[in-house]
Structure 1
């Protein structure tokens, strides 16, 4: 989880331990979901000053071999 300068919460999450689907969720301070989409299994997440979101994905046993993905904000 990362709390951005904009006050939004950026979460790399799973609905449960058995869930197959991994999610990237953006929530406001009240917990309202503003955006959500599926992603590869993720370990780190952070937004930049332009609203782009970076996500590091990789195997559960070796995060150092992860793949960085940039999701570009479209206005």
Structure 2
């Protein structure tokens, strides 16, 4: 298993998949990709996911009002 880090986005690969992850406060965002997927494209997508997540849930999480109920992320 090999790990790489780029601007807050980390990745690790197994024999079958690559896993990219980033941490937003107390939340870990993980994306699973094929081994052939382009790192730059995936990093761009993860950055977009992170920005949208922070826009939508950032204040709730950092304010301490989040009750750790993950169902709010599916609404």
Does TM, normalized by the shorter one, top 0.5?
no
TM-score range, shorter chain: 0.3 to 0.5
- Higher-Rg structure is 2
TM-score, length-scaled by structure 1: 0.34
Q: Which has the higher strand share?
A: 1
